Amino acid sequence: MSKARVGGWLWVLCLQYFVAEAVAISGWPGPYSLSRDYISDLGAVGCGVAANGSAAMPLCSPLHAVMNASLFLQGLLIVGGTALVWSRFPKGALWTVALLLVGGSGFGVSLVGLAPEDALPGPHFLGATENFLFCNAGMAVMGVAMLRERRGMPLLGLVTFAAGIVGLLGVACLGVALVTPRAYLGLGAGGMERLVAYPFPLWIAAMGAMLLRGRGLWAQPPSGPTRQEP
């Protein structure tokens, strides 16, 4: 199996995050709200008050090890996959920046898994912020690169760009929400965070699947002289 195919599989395996999140939610005592509760609450190692400071929202995740291990693994899948599939993408500044951002986002999500919100809040916040900014900026830049590529796929480029921009706007809303909860736009803290976090693993898994099928503008023609038919 080629390195690129291994990388494609690593990207597809990023879907493991959704499985781990569902498992962690299943162990949550009482109702867990996708709109109200943060993703990071599932990785909290202790029981107490939720990260948003509301005493009405108890924080307790018995299966926190599942969530944290998944986040750490997610980072490895992103970084490793990006390194292995790099050669399958066109050359150029935009592509390089996009791939650096996409791959770099993996370091942030791994840090989130290593630093639970209630144990190491500083590194946790730093990792989450880096991941959210890098993965969404990476999608936005790659979307532009796809739209500019002559052999490109315009619809894929447009969807990729739109997903990145929506994610970046969501990051801005999370920042403004530190001052006013109205910035959640009725989605709730957890809903807004998921608007920022969910598109990237879905997108990168889809990209990995397309690479495995040998499709896409990144499929470069073979190098070197070609044999002429008589």
Cβ pair 42, 36 in contact under 8 A: no
Radius of gyration of the CA atoms of the chain, in A: 19
Helix (H/G/I), strand (E/B), else coil: 4: helix
pTM of the model: 0.88
110-137 pLDDT per residue, tens:
999 999 998 999 999 999 999 999 999 9
Q: Which residues pair with 48 in a beta bridge?
A: 59
64-109 pLDDT per residue, tens:
999 999 999 999 999 999 999 999 999 999 999 999 999 999 999 9
